[in-house]
Structure 1
Amino acid sequence: MTSADPLALYVHWPFCVTKCPYCDFNSHVRASVDQAQWQAALLADLAFEAARLPGRKLASIFFGGGTPSLMPPATVATIIEAACQHWAPDGDIEITLEANPSSVEAARFAGFASAGVNRLSLGVQALDDDALKLLGRPHDVAAALAALDVAQATFGRVSFDLIYDRPGMTREGWQAELARAIGFGTSHLSLYQLTIEPGTRFAALHARGALVMPDEDTSADLFAITQDVTAAAGMPAYEISNHARPGQESRHNLVYWRYGDYAGIGPGAHGRRHGVATLRRKKPEAWLAGIAEHGHGMESETPLTIPERTTEALVMGLRLAEGLNAARFAARAGVTLAEAIRPDAAARLAAQGLITADTQGLRLTAAGWPLANAVLAEIAR
């Protein structure tokens, strides 16, 4: 990695109004938050990380969570200003903030835009009130669409999330819901299949048979419908779960998937810099204590071995429609792509129509994409 490679900054805000039953993210519900303390702590964590990544060009900032739309716009503005003092920002820097579609948060959208946010990612999650109740979301469809209207009037770029493959979902129901979503005219959609994550309330319900997921055939059909409908609408998948009009891909997330450097600050935030994996303390109170004691919230800084970097680069790159670029892979993983994969497995998978590979790189085909995990298990040395 060189100073010419773009740098991404991730800022984690860990607080939510409620904890969704499917969520295994580092999110917490607190009765109150000392906003001045949190602003100062995030700035300290940022300064610590910036000192270890000097001279880089800042391509993107992403405020994630949790629910970062609960942050005061003034805090967002202060962090953006500080980041752009630590690093020279690209002229077209992408600054994304995740938001929930409540009326309280939508009222802050103009403030976030004034702070410098130019892309909003809205957590709609479903266009069905019963589904939203099942997912434990604190909004209904009417609130989601009202917030989407405000977002589209305020920001040049808007994305929103939907969760499909939900209990009881039919092929016809998802096709209609997806067509409706595309009709709202955003330039980007994040479409996630519902997964049962360990330690969540959904995991407990599923274990005792109180939450029945669609069968494998239905899940496969729902994935295929997602690819077909979005492609026909001019929003093809550029990553397994992300769809965009040409040129509207998330530049921040592309840094992750292309295995570039990114700085991660805030509780539980991960980062990658110069082959080192960084991890902040997860619990908000523990992270704050680290800031007070050491000036940063770091839990660990772990140099990655070449096999670890190789695996991570393969896992991330195979998710992309563009696949793995051989030259970029070698620069970032420390070995060539040819050295990282098993040639016999690659030949077999290519013959089965699941991958295409040449001297320029390797990528999954449309048939291989739903089998990404199985392909990875076969192909990696």
Structure 2
Amino acid sequence: MDILEQPDLTRYAALLPDTGEPGFGVYVHWPFCAAKCPYCDFNSHVRHQPVDQERFTAAFLKEMAMVRQLSGPKTVTSIFLGGGTPSLMNPSTVSAILDGIAKHWHVPDGIEITMEANPSSVEAERFRGYRAAGVNRVSLGVQALNDRDLKFLGRLHDVADALKAIKLARDIFPRMSFDLIYARPNQTVDEWERELKEAISYAVDHLSLYQLTIEEGTPFYGLHKAGKLIVPDGDQSALLYEATQEITNREGLPAYEVSNHARPGAESRHNLTYWRYGDYAGIGPGAHGRLTRGSMKIATATERKPESWLDLVERDGHGTIDQEQLGYEEQADELLLMGLRLKEGVDLARWQQLSGRDPDPKREEFLLEHGFIERIGNSRLRCTPSGMLILDSVVADLAC
């Protein structure tokens, strides 16, 4: 299939439709990368010796058994293999992990099973192996469509690698998404518009478009602090964001979340579980989870360092280092923080049930008058496009 040829969208029908419910997801974290990108603050690690995949697989399965005890019986609505670079896993490792999830929870046919992949680690044979294992959606970390900026971002692939990976993903998987980072140094609105239109010509049904952020502890943070890396200021970032919304809307890939764009019906089911404040099991080094037990929600976190996590699992049966019971107020704040990222907004009745109160009328009226939020009937509250630009402030105002 030529990379510009539009695929047959009828094959998406094999995946179960989105019911609008939060659902229950399973997240598995593969923490290894071939190289550490200078902007990345994710829990990813470079190892110069081959990773013992059989040993890690056994640990993933062992930790699943413990998490199953916490979660109780559940029907899985999505699975996400994240990282790190999960496409460094052998297909047999992926198959064993997915079989383990099906052993511990009910996994219906047709749920979304996503794997993250980097173009530099993509091979057709491996992709076919992942598809045979059950993966039906791939998310590619493309990040830019020019070689200069790919080098600046520390990526190991070039544009030719990216286009090859996109074509393979379109050919092999029912669903495919890829990421781009914008608001790069010296990037103009015109440059970004051209790059985004090119990206849309390659996309099938989903794009993730993130503004470059400078995270503490990364090499970019040190360069930025020293004045050697200048990113667009607030006004320029807002212009880039507005151009992103205008183009994706016009091309049929509207934002359904702050940074995520999809054709209707092709939204990421797994990420919707997070944003709708559903339950999810976190498996692997540095994974987080939210599990409801009775009326309470338990927040879990595992050891971040892979080898330390492995030792803990082999000794204790799990790598959990933090397990906190969230009160109703904390749950209400998390629901608001996650739900206001979505175009569909927050279910007010659910928020009121958790928080035990209505939104502060004066704060709500202020945000309504200034066009930062809007009501959807009497049941939902959401941010406007203007509100999305100051999302953290809107959440802080409403949570008080």
Q: How does 1:295-334 map to 2 (within 5 A)?
A: 295-330=317-352, 334=354
1:277 and 2:299 aligned: yes
- Give the 3-state SS of the residue equivalent to 1:174 in structure 2: helix
Q: How does 1:8-87 map to 2 (within 5 A)?
A: 8-31=25-48, 32-87=50-105
The answer on 1:293 being equivalent to 2:315 is yes
1:90 deviates by: 3.0
Identity of aligned residues (%): 52
2:107 to 89, 92, 96: 89
Q: SS at the partner of 1:279?
A: strand
Instruction: Quote the Cα distance in structure 2 between the aligned partners of 1:179 and 1:136.
Output: 23
The aligned amino acid for 1:245 is R
- Residue identity opposite 2:222 in structure 1: A
- State the partner residue of 1:366: 385
Q: Which residue in the other structure is 1:162 paired with?
A: 180
CA distance in 2, matches of 1:106, 1:161: 20
CA contact (8 A) 1:280 1:298 kept: yes
Pair 1:255 & 2:269 matched? no
- Deviation at residue 28 of structure 1 after TM alignment: 0.2
| C-alpha distance in structure 2 between counterparts of 1:122 and 1:61, whole Å | 16
In structure 1, what is the equivalent of residue 154 of structure 2? Answer: 136
Give the letter for the 1:374 counterpart: S
The whole-number CA distance in structure 2 between the counterparts of 1:330 and 1:90 is 32
Residue 292 of structure 1 aligns to which amino acid in structure 2?
E
Tell me how far 1:133 sits from its aligned partner: 0.4
Deviation at 1:292, TM superposition (A): 1.4
Structure 2 CA distance, aligned partners of 1:252 and 1:318?
17
Cα distance in 1, alignment partners of residues 108 and 349 from structure 2: 24
Q: TM-score, normalising length from structure 1?
A: 0.95
2:88–2:121 Cα contact (<8 Å) kept: no
**Counterpart in the other structure of 1:123:** 141
State whether structure 2 residue 373 is matched by structure 1 residue 355: yes
CA offsets per residue over residues 202-251 of structure 1, 9 Å max, x none?
00000111101112211100000011100101100000000000000000
- Given that residues 271 and 277 in structure 1 are in contact (C-alpha distance below 8 angstroms), is that contact kept between their aligned partners in structure 2? yes
TM-score w.r.t. length of structure 2: 0.91
Q: In the alignment, is the contact (CA less than 8 A) between 2:87 and 2:121 conserved in 1?
A: no
1:103 Cα shift?
A: 5.4
Q: For residue 359 of structure 1, report the CA deviation from its aligned partner.
A: 2.6
8 A contact 1:70–1:105 mirrored in 2: no
Distance of 2:391 and 2:310 partners within structure 1: 38
Residue aligned with 2:107, SS: strand
Cα offsets for 1:322-371 (capped at 9, x unmatched): 0001234356xx235xx263221101111111111353021011221111
Question: Helix, strand or coil: the match of 1:82?
Answer: helix
Contact 1:174-1:222 within 8 A present in 2 as well: yes
The DSSP-based 3-state class of the residue aligned with 2:238 is: helix
Q: 2:301 & 2:28 partners in 1: Cα distance? A: 13
CA positional deviation for 1:107: 3.9
SS at match of 2:210: strand
Distance 2:33 2:162 in 1: 17
- How many positions carry a matched residue from both structures? 374
1:335 aligns with 2:371: no
Q: Give the secondary-structure state (helix, strand or coil) at the position aligned to 2:119.
A: coil
1:103–1:143 CA contact under 8 A, matched in 2: no
User: Residues 268-315 of structure 1, C-alpha deviation per residue, up to 9 Å, x if partnerless?
Assistant: 000000111000011011101111110111111100122221211111
Residue correspondence of structure 1 range 100-115 to structure 2 within 5 A? 100-102=118-120, 104-115=122-133
Q: Deviations over 1:147-203 (max 9, x none)?
A: 111110000100000000000100000000000000113210000000000000000
Take 2:63 and 2:254, find their aligned partners in 1: how far apart are those partners? 37
The CA distance in 2 between the partners of 1:301 and 1:64, in whole Å, is: 21
**Is the 1:100–1:123 Cα contact (8 Å) retained in structure 2?**
yes
Instruction: Give 3-state SS (helix, strand or coil) of 1:52's partner.
Output: helix
CA contact (8 A) 1:64 1:97 kept: yes
Indicate the residue corresponding to 1:185 in structure 2: 203
Unmatched segments (≥5 aa) in structure 2? 1-20
More divergent stretch after superposition (122-131 vs 351-360): 351-360
